[in-house]
Amino acid sequence: MLSAATAAVCLVAPLPGSTADAARTITYFPLSYPRMADKAAADWNRVGARVELVRAPGRRRADYVIRKNRNTDCSGTMSTSGRLTVSRGCPNKRTTAQVIAHEFGHIFFFHHENRRCSLMNAVIYSECRGKAKSWRRCRYLTKFDAWARARRFGKNERGRKTGLCR
């Protein structure tokens, strides 16, 4: 069982001017990687917290715009100005979607969590001790990620926890 002290490590206060708590909807527009962004958003939305990621009809109406950068590694960054960038060096679509899902976690005000297995590890799944290789059929979020998001935003009765990585 996780304690409140444990939760304080991964949860942070909203950024100044953030509307995530008030609106309960955060919009994104994928200039790059549209399928992977939609899959990452669907996984975050599936866990049943009372705030959702919704694809905007255009980049001018989006809170966050997803685009590629020129780096050849496999990484992502998220700025407070609404830019979410993912490098071109990820080995496959699943890894790219995991990086996008990780960056979406920062939109939900999560820090890196390096004490347990989590999508929010600084290096994704680095604390999973070999479990990630068997995760080809499960969703990107771990049970801890789902718990932390529900704790931050409240639960929604339509949330499903099936398919989460352990």
Tens-place pLDDT, residues 83-106: 999 999 999 898 899 999 999 988
Segment 51-75 shows an average pLDDT of 92
Tell me what the pLDDT averaged over the chain comes to: 76
- Has residue 21 got a pLDDT over 70? no
Burial 23-48 (b: 16+ CB within 10 A, else e): eeebbbbbebbeebbbbbbebbbbbb
Segment 74-85 shows an average pLDDT of 88
Which region among 14-18, 43-47, 53-57 has the lowest average model confidence (pLDDT)? 14-18
Q: Is residue 153 part of a domain?
A: no
CA distance 8 to 44: 20
State residue 100's pLDDT score.
94
More confident residue, 133 or 102: 102
Segment 31-48 shows an average pLDDT of 90
| Domain span holding position 66 | 17-145
State residue 78's pLDDT score.
86
φ, ψ for residue 129, nearest 5 deg:
50, 55
**pLDDT category of residue 14 using cuts at 50, 70 and 90:** very low
Q: Is residue 5 part of a domain?
A: no
Q: Is residue 4 part of a domain?
A: no
Give the predicted TM-score (pTM) of the model.
0.76
Segment 15-20 shows an average pLDDT of 44
CA distance 23 to 6: 27
Q: Is residue 22 part of a domain?
A: yes
Q: Is residue 160 part of a domain?
A: no
State residue 6's pLDDT score.
29
Q: Is residue 77 part of a domain?
A: yes
Q: Is residue 31 part of a domain?
A: yes
State residue 117's pLDDT score.
80
Q: Is residue 164 part of a domain?
A: no
**pLDDT category of residue 8 using cuts at 50, 70 and 90:** very low
CATH number of 121's domain: 3.40.390.10
Dihedral over Cα of 63, 120, 22, 14: its sign: negative
The total of structural domains in the chain comes to: 1
- Has residue 53 got a pLDDT over 80? yes
